[in-house]
Amino acid sequence: MGEFVSLQVTDGVGTIRVDRPKMNALNRQVQEEIRAAATEATERDDVKAVVVWGGERVFAAGADVKEMAEMSHADMVKRSAGLQSAFSAVARIPKPVVAAVNGYALGGGCELALCADVRFAAENAVFGQPEILLGIIPGAGGTQRLTRLVGPAKAKELIFSGRFVKAEEALAIGLADRVVPAEEVYPQAVAWASQFVKGATLALRAAKEAVDRGIETDLETGLEIERQQFAALFATQDRSLGMDSFVEHGPGKADFVGH
């Protein structure tokens, strides 16, 4: 449990909650607490899926500009790897992850949301990568994850301009996956995550790894990654339980055990 970031677990769903009033500015301490929460969520067997949430008012309005303004080139050379790896710890959680976005998700906040597998946005949510307006570029994965999500042309337009993207446009371009009333964002994200609590844990892990690793490479290599993951699952008890249940009772009725 960090000062500003916590992992709260209920019925198999872990919520990584960022709570640094007023705007959840992502200073170095928050970044490291995000890393710690993501690591804990990865390691805990009782966490089957994860929600990343900044609360009812704001997801995260960006980096702590006052802190960054004091940093020299040498300071940022030392810090930039830690900044990226703290966010990557969320992206590498080997379980389904959903970002529940209320209010602003700007700069580092947008980059944090991009680390999730899917994004649920409030009707009043606002996304953006406005770093260019500070004379810099996104440094926590925005130029890479945004490009892979919405395509290079749209990513460049958003990053070059630094403009804000409202929820409906975010949905249209694939930056958001669902838009709902503000009060429904977190409950719907938890409901989405809850469907995996009794799922085939190793198969979910394999599916996520195959997609995430495969998209970084050529098709032939990606297919080999898939083949290896697919074949490996035939060594699991869940595969036997799932197939036996399908034969006897039809699809969707297996009681998986997670190994």
Which residues are annotated as catalytic?
111, 131
3-state secondary structure of 202: helix
CA dihedral 157, 159, 162, 167 (to 10 degrees): 70
The DSSP code sequence of 51-107 is: EEE--SS-SB--B-HHHHHT--HHHHHHHHHHHHHHHHHHHT-SS-EEEEE-SEEET
Of the candidates 74, 89, 102, 87, the residue with the CA atom closest to the CA atom of residue 42: 89
Length of the chain, please? Answer: 259
Please, which residues bridge with residue 258 across strands? none
Q: Which two tokens stand for residue 48?
A: 């089957």
C-alpha distances (whole Å) from 231 to each of 201, 228, 235 are 16, 5, 8
Query: Using CA atoms, how far apart are residues 151 and 148, in angstroms rounded to an integer?
Result: 6
Q: What 3 state SS string does 213-227 have?
A: HHCCCCHHHHHHHHH
Query: Using CA atoms, how far apart are residues 39 and 209, in angstroms rounded to an integer?
Result: 17
